[in-house]
Amino acid sequence: MTMTVSFKTFGCRLNQAEAAQFATAFEAAGFRQVPFGSDAHVMVFHSCTVTWKAENECLKVIRKTRLAHPSAWIVLTGCAVATCDPAQLQGLVDERVPVDAKDDLVNRVLKRLGVPAIERPRIVKPTTQRAILKIQDGCDFFCAYCIVPHARGAPWSRPLDACVEEARAMIDAGFQELVVTGCNTACYRDGTNTLLDLLQALLALPGLGRIRLGSIEPGTVERELIGLMVSDTHLCRFLHLPVQSGSDAVLAGMRRRYRIRHIRATLDDALSRIPDLSLGTDVIAGFPGETEDAFQQTVDLVTAYPWSNVHVFPYSERPGTPAVTFDGKVPGRVRKMRSQELMRIGAQKKEQYASRFVGRPVTFLVEHFANDGTACGWSAEYLACRVTGVLRQQRRTLVCFHPERAEDGVLHGYVGIHQT
């Protein structure tokens, strides 16, 4: 009988990349992957603990799964292993695999099940239409609100040659977009090789469609990345800088490594060199000590630039972080109101940015088809696209189309000759 495995992945692209590694290794061991929620011999939960809410959501799903599938072997990995009270997991989880042991997750499970161990596959089989390339893990920035350095540990990077080898295999498998990700991607370093060196090696690969970068910490390598985007259009002109606040006082409290004058200088320089650059950011509303004036400074920053994606989070107390002990707590209702205001501005900004591309040719990655036959995917600028006239066999390929309108930040258009 073929043994089966299913996965439930929470959180970031890094977790998605790691889940793909697990899936490849289980397949190499003879397992068949089945959809999460169906009966499986092994169920792997790859957890997120960036907020208390995220961790609790993971535990909630595990509890439901244990009740529905009492005989399954439930495995918990990811950041929550380091932050969850083991007593909470008693009777729910059969195997806990901490972050520093996740490379051996599959063989640990196989041993418990009496199945022979395997050599870890060198090439990861992508599980989505966009191939996610993990290049780095860990962080030592220790921002006051963040538990991740405690959960994932010190930063480390994969060898450049190993990253290039895996990327080449992904391209050979037909993937036209590579998403380069890590816990703190900007800190990639293999000997003297930096993130820029790795990207240049990836951009030189034959058959590459395009490369998209994940979030880049401000004050690291963003200026150099902008220069690379100018010189090579295979690198998506999308820059996600998690600014978090527009107030220097709040940034100091957050223990961030930059100030707003640096952010504004970077954005002004970037837009002068790439006027249509897609800018994304993360913003926390209601951090301890955030006054009305400090909040207004964040509003001013979000209003001043043509952001395409503004991810807003009301501050959430995370046990184990310094910020939970800070004075100046902002009431929950105020956090919510401030978040809603920033989200409203962010939605307007996204709509304005998307509207720029109406009537201009845009290339998008065909990821799936809606029930009505419309192709859905993402442009290089990280705009959602819905396109008619795309052939089914074009899934996973880059297709140029003509946007007719932008609606709620989504580009709607057609391929070929438009028929009214």
Q: What's the CA gap between 33 and 49, in Å, rounded?
A: 25
Residue 368 phi, psi (nearest 5): -160, 175
- Reading the block at residue 356, the tokens are 């720029």
pLDDT of residue 115: 82
Q: Is 189 helix (H, G, I), strand (E, B) or coil?
A: strand
| Cβ within 8 Å of residue 336, ≥6 positions away | 314
Q: Smallest Cα–Cα separation from 21: which of 38, 3, 33?
A: 33
Q: Is 210 helix (H, G, I), strand (E, B) or coil?
A: strand
Cα R_g (the chain), whole angstroms: 22
Cα 310–Cα 311–Cα 313 angle in degrees, nearest 5: 135
Residue numbers of the chain with a pLDDT score lower than 70: 120-128, 417-420
Q: Smallest Cα–Cα separation from 260: which of 277, 252, 248, 244?
A: 248
Q: What's the CA gap between 52 and 88, in Å, rounded?
A: 14
- DSSP symbol at 40: -
Q: 10 Å Cβ neighbour count for 104?
A: 14
pLDDT of residue 25: 87
Q: Is 413 helix (H, G, I), strand (E, B) or coil?
A: strand
Contact 289, 326 (CB under 8 A): yes
pLDDT of residue 176: 95
Q: Smallest Cα–Cα separation from 176: which of 212, 201, 204, 200?
A: 212
Largest CA distance in the chain: 65
Task: Please state at what angle helix 260-273 crosses helix 222-231, rounded to 10 degrees.
Answer: 0
- Reading the block at residue 47, the tokens are 């957890």
pLDDT of residue 217: 97
pLDDT of residue 377: 96
| Cβ within 8 Å of residue 231, ≥6 positions away | none
Q: Residue count of the chain, please give it.
A: 420
Q: 10 Å Cβ neighbour count for 216?
A: 20
Q: Smallest Cα–Cα separation from 7: which of 40, 30, 48?
A: 40
| Cβ within 8 Å of residue 24, ≥6 positions away | 121, 123, 124, 125
Q: What's the CA gap between 188 and 174, in Å, rounded?
A: 26
Contact 25, 121 (CB under 8 A): yes
Whole-model pTM over 0.85: yes
Contact 79, 183 (CB under 8 A): no
